[in-house]
Amino acid sequence: MESGATPFANYDVTRVMKVLPHRYPMLLVDRVEELILDERIRAVKAVSINEGYFQGHFPGRPIMPGVLQIEALAQAAGILAMESLGLAGSGKLVYFMSIDNAKFRAPVEPGCLLYLEVEFTQKSARACRFSGKAMVGDKVVSQADFMAMVADPPAAAN
């Protein structure tokens, strides 16, 4: 195993849900194929015709919205950050702060496996910068640079 590689031999959706607060229909990471702590992650989203957004985007030509591709990259980055900072299971959340240089290069259709490759470009205990690309096969379909902050969840309402 490569130095820094994840200790998780089977990082499936059950493990993803232990790290991320997202749930269907907003959970956009199905499994993690590679996680090198403090460096990068490669995760997968299986794009299914059963996704609710395909009913309206677009009827007769279903395409995964670009903003959801970016959200999937952000969720993969959240897993990378939580695991690298030792915060998995802590209840902390990773919030988007900015998105830069977003590009959409090709449509993503039902039946695709969307590979999410994200790497740290800067990391601290409170904020992290990432560069990510979403791929179908070996073709980049979207990419972005983004920043997120690690924070406590909102206080429960009284």
Domain CATH for 97:
3.10.129.10
Q: What pLDDT band is residue 9 in, cutting at 50, 70 and 90?
A: low
Global pTM reads: 0.92
- Class of residue 126 by CB neighbours under 10 A (exposed 0-12, middle 13-18, buried 19+): exposed
How many domains does the chain divide into? 1
40 assigned to some structural domain: yes
156 assigned to some structural domain: no
87 assigned to some structural domain: yes
pLDDT at 1: 44
78 assigned to some structural domain: yes
157 assigned to some structural domain: no
Tell me which of 6-15, 68-77, 110-119 is least confident.
6-15
Mean pLDDT of 137-149: 97
pLDDT at 149: 95
C-alpha 79/C-alpha 94 separation (Å) is 9
Q: What range does the domain containing 99 cover?
A: 13-151
Name the residues annotated as catalytic. Answer: 57
Is the pLDDT assigned to residue 130 strictly greater than 60? Answer: yes
